[in-house]
Amino acid sequence: MKDNAHSISRPRPRAPTLVVAGLAATLLAAGGCVTVRYRPTPRPVTVHQVIAWSKANVPAKAIIHRMKKAHMVYRLNASELAKLHAQGVPDPVINYMQHTYLAAVRHHQKLRDWRYWWSGPDGYWYGGPNWNGDWGEGDED
């Protein structure tokens, strides 16, 4: 008689058809409950609108709120900013308009800086915008 002390009887894996069928039914049932809401994009706020609202004495907070909702970026030079001030646009609105461009430039630079980084096989990130590939060379005292 053979010694079966070293052989462990393992249960046979069940056919996955019931598990897969149950999972598929659950996903289909849950998928039917999902609704997609259409959210219209806000209309852009033009410089001419900002001037018109300022002349109509719309509060600066309301103008800035509309610009924030529209996610506008205003690239204005110094003379254009001076003209806005001369036409009665409040200083907080002009400051916000300048801020939108500066924030956009910073965000764009952050996206560009990511091009210099890569994930190594060990899971750590290497590189950076100032990395030139010769770390450790010329660092001798």
Q: How many domains does the chain have?
A: 1
pLDDT given for residue 141 in this prediction: 43
Domain extent at residue 69? 47-115
**125 lies in a domain?**
no
Q: pLDDT digit string (tens) for 22-71?
A: 666 665 655 555 566 777 777 888 999 999 999 999 999 999 999 999 88
How far is the C-alpha of 117 from the C-alpha of 138, rounded, in Å?
23
Give residue 35's identity as a one-letter amino acid code: T
Both tokens of 112, joined, read 């560009």
Query: Model's pTM, two decimal places?
Result: 0.55
**64 lies in a domain?**
yes
How far is the C-alpha of 139 from the C-alpha of 141, rounded, in Å?
6
**36 lies in a domain?**
no
